[in-house]
Structure 1
Amino acid sequence: MLYIRDLCGFYEPAPKETILSEARRLSGYQFRRAAAISTPTAAKEAIGLKLVGLEYELFACLFLDTRHQVLAWREMFRGSINRNSVHPREVVKEALKLNAAAVILAHNHPSGSIQPSKEDLELTRTLTEILKVIDVRVLDHLIVGDEVVSLAETGHHTA
């Protein structure tokens, strides 16, 4: 249990939103430029903290260099509670702008489900094919719900 001090100096249990907000802030340190994302577990932990608990769908990309060091974390598209429109052209533009060699795709399901939809799988295939043309590898696509699922680990994506 995490406690916070109120205005009178007494400690009380921290609300869920306060905990998640602080976790997101601290996870930003893992995305500082040149930090290495060396394992799928590290990516899942860092990205999961960024996307867990949101009430809307958010599609984001973690752009990496040739040594899988962080170039940038970009929140690319924001949707509603159960739908988000992702425009591959914008992902390509950002990858080129950053001179990325690899990317980890990520989005959340506000419902908490980690089951990939057919649209999730199709988007992963589409972005993988398009980004391959400009020599950017899609390493994984993470779906954040009550847990974090890696499409690469479940066999839905091969890098």
Structure 2
Amino acid sequence: MMINLRERILSYGVATLKDEELLAVILGNGTKEYPVAKLARKIVSESNGLNLSLEQLMSFNGVGVAQACKVLAAIELGSRKNQADTLSEETVSVADMGQHLIKKIGSAPQEKLIAIYLNNSYHVISEKIIFIGTVDSATVHPRDILREAVGMSATQVLIAHNHPNGSLMFSQNDQEFSLRLQKCCHLIGINLIDHLIITKKTYSSLKSLNLI
């Protein structure tokens, strides 16, 4: 099993492996009752997108402390890589930004409000996490977003936040906050491109729904 997986990685690249196969490579071995392939498949099927604690991993028969630590380290490394990814400095579209944000915050366990700042040519100047927690007008103020925009002479901004529950629906708070931000942007000559809701696999646009 392990030899075959390693040969596939060498011949075709690691991206060709399924989730349970990647996990099997990390685990290395299983038990007589649960060979590594069966063990990896069980963990993937019974976990919520591999959102697992050390204790949860070790509750699976055949997973020891060392293996559990390896799995958690691999997951954390992947998460940090996504956080470090940045958009191209070339012209980008809303679709480009949506796909980028799925990777960056789509799997985050907490809501994160992120702002992407651009110039008139749709070249990205910077992107910043503005707030972590529930996004509404009581917790986040437009000035938190626009202070950064003015400081870097951005003329356009796109905001997005993730829904850990997977919902693509905008709440009343989402719309009210977006309309408030849009008014503040207009006053200082900045274009609010859109407000996106991000999930693990896709995104929705407040502007495409004519909510701003």
Give the TM bin, normalised by the shorter chain: 0.7 to 0.9
Local SS of the residue matching 2:208: coil
Aligned to 1:63: 117
- Cα deviation code 1:88-122 (max 9, x no counterpart): 11111101011101011100112211100011001
Unaligned 5+ segments in structure 1 are: none
1:125 and 2:179 aligned: yes
Identity of aligned residues (%): 23
CA contact (8 A) 2:115 2:128 kept: yes
Map 1:6-155 → 2, pairs under 5 A: 6=26, 16=50, 18=74, 22=78, 25=81, 28-32=84-88, 34-37=89-92, 39-79=93-133, 83-84=134-135, 85-146=139-200, 147-155=202-210
Structure 1 or 2: more helix by fraction? 2
**Counterparts of 2:197 and 2:187, CA distance in 1:** 24
**Counterparts of 2:186 and 2:196, CA distance in 1:** 19
Task: Please report the RMSD computed on the Cα atoms of aligned residues, expressed in angstroms.
Answer: 2.8
What's the CA shift for 1:51? 1.3
- Structure 1 pair 156–24 and aligned structure 2 pair: CA distance change class (3 A): farther
Relative contact order (alpha carbons < 8 A, sep ≥ 6): 1 or 2 greater?
Answer: 1
What's the CA shift for 1:6? 3.3
What's the CA shift for 1:145? 2.6
Unaligned 5+ segments in structure 2 are: 1-17, 30-35, 52-73
CA contact (8 A) 1:106 1:141 kept: yes
What's the CA shift for 1:26? 5.1
CA contact (8 A) 1:44 1:150 kept: no
- Cα deviation code 1:1-53 (max 9, x no counterpart): 142643869x9769846568637625754425x2321x222121011211112
**Counterparts of 1:126 and 1:87, CA distance in 2:** 9
Computing the radius of gyration from Cα coordinates, the structure with the larger value is: 2
Structure 1 or 2: more strand by fraction? 1
